[in-house]
Structure 1
Amino acid sequence: MSLPTLTVKPGAVALMALMAATRFHHFGTPFALPDASLAIFFLAGLWLGGRYLFATLLIEAGLIDYLAITKLGVSDFCVSKAYVFLIGSYAAMWLGGKWCRKFTELSIAGAARQLIALVAATSTAFLFSNGSFYWLSGRYADTNWAQYIERFAKYYPPYMTNTLLYAVAIFAAVSAVKHIITQRATQQTV
């Protein structure tokens, strides 16, 4: 029985490096970028796929959180019994990206569909992570809908904004690089 061949994809390595560089602070600080994990899972689903990469990214996220809390003094406030629901959050992003694979044409309509999918996936991910944390973490003694809606209004905008900024910026950068590579290849064959 032979072992499967391991192929290292540069895009996967780049996304993993971005996660390692940004995961330490959820909304960022004056000295650290906000967490790019949601955009990373979406783009990995869009461009790379594969359940092994999904599992690898989950393990990386958990390992970074563990190291940040145990070695770097990052607060463990967000780690609770609701932490497991991050799997659902990241799966929503991954599946949203995978669904966008069918929009291969570079057009306004295709980009709009991908943006709508990104917003829908991010909203679903937010409901998984924020909702489970509020209702199940045990961090709030008096949970109620009014307080949840208030917290939703406070945390949803930066959650969505950070994800959109990362995803759009990375997508644009990769598209520009692909375009340049294609142009150079075309010029060399002419």
Structure 2
Amino acid sequence: MSKTQTQRLGIFIGLALTMAVTRIHLSLFQHDVRDASWAVFFLGGFWLAGRSRWAFPLLIAEAVLVDYLVISGQGLAFWSHYCLSPAYVFLLPAYGSLWLGGRWLARHRPAALMPTLGLGALVLLASVSVCYLISNGSFYWLSASVPTPRSVGAWLTNLGDWYLPFLETTAFYVGIGTLLHGLMTQLARLLEHTGTQRVR
């Protein structure tokens, strides 16, 4: 296994563990942990898209498995839960929009730090917006949990109610991922420089 493959596997394991722990909605120190799934797919697209074609379907499978285990653990049938409906399948294109956003950023980011951060913020905003539009819209129009009659006006109100919390949570986790990425990049450069000095 090459160094690059080892790094990708390590990144995947880190992302998978992060999603598993936060998607279960554990309580640490009496505070609810917010779901990092949206950030995981965005960062996965940035770090793993390209040669790691297996990563996206595996993360999708993990998300479904975690949901199944959590709902089954509550003694409920999987499809009887409030959050489950025919709209559930739309999580595939919703998460896909985050993955593609991260992948696009990885391919088009500028070399300088500040322009990269600025472009990253814009791409994250666009990706989260598309993901939210797909996931929220499909749930509103297809879920039996939403009271009828439905209307475009009520849907737009619903969109406004939940958009910022989803954006804030995703941006928070992506921010942590960005810091870790920067630290690991600097560490790799330092180790490379140290190795070069020893050779000389």
**TM-score, length-scaled by structure 1:** 0.88
Q: Which residue of structure 2 lines up, in the alignment, with residue 173 of structure 1? A: 180
Q: Distance in 2 between matches of 1:188 and 1:120?
A: 41
For residues 62-115 of structure 1, the C-alpha deviation after alignment (integer angstroms, 9 at most, x for no partner) is: 000000000146892111110000001100000001101121524211221111
Q: 1:167 to 1:73 in 2, by over 3 A?
A: farther
Aligned length: 185
Out of 149, 152, 162, the position equivalent to 2:156 is 149
Partner residue of 1:99 out of 104, 112, 120: 104
Deviation (angstroms), 1:7 = 9.3
Q: Does 1:135 align with 2:144?
A: no
- Any idea what the Cα deviations from partners look like across 1:10-52, whole Å, max 9, x if unmatched? 00000000011001249x9954311111110111111111331
Change (3 A) 1:54 1:109: same
Structure 2 letter corresponding to 1:85? F
Distance 1:78 1:29 in 2: 26
Matched letter for residue 58 of structure 1: I
Q: Could you tell me how far apart the structure 2 residues matched to 1:100 and 1:185 are?
A: 26
Give the letter for the 1:163 counterpart. T
> Which is worse superposed, 83-92 or 50-59?
50-59
Letter in 2 for 1:52: W
C-alpha distance in structure 1 between counterparts of 2:115 and 2:29, whole Å: 36
Percent identity of paired positions between Structure 1 and Structure 2: 32
Larger fraction in helix: 2
Aligned counterpart, 1:57: 59
What is the CA–CA distance in structure 1 between the aligned matches of 2:149 and 2:95, rounded to whole Å?
Answer: 28
| Cα distance in 2 between the residues matched to 1:41 and 1:161 | 15
- 1:38 corresponds in structure 2 to 38
SS in 1 for 2:82: coil
Between stretches 46-55 and 11-20, larger displacement belongs to 46-55
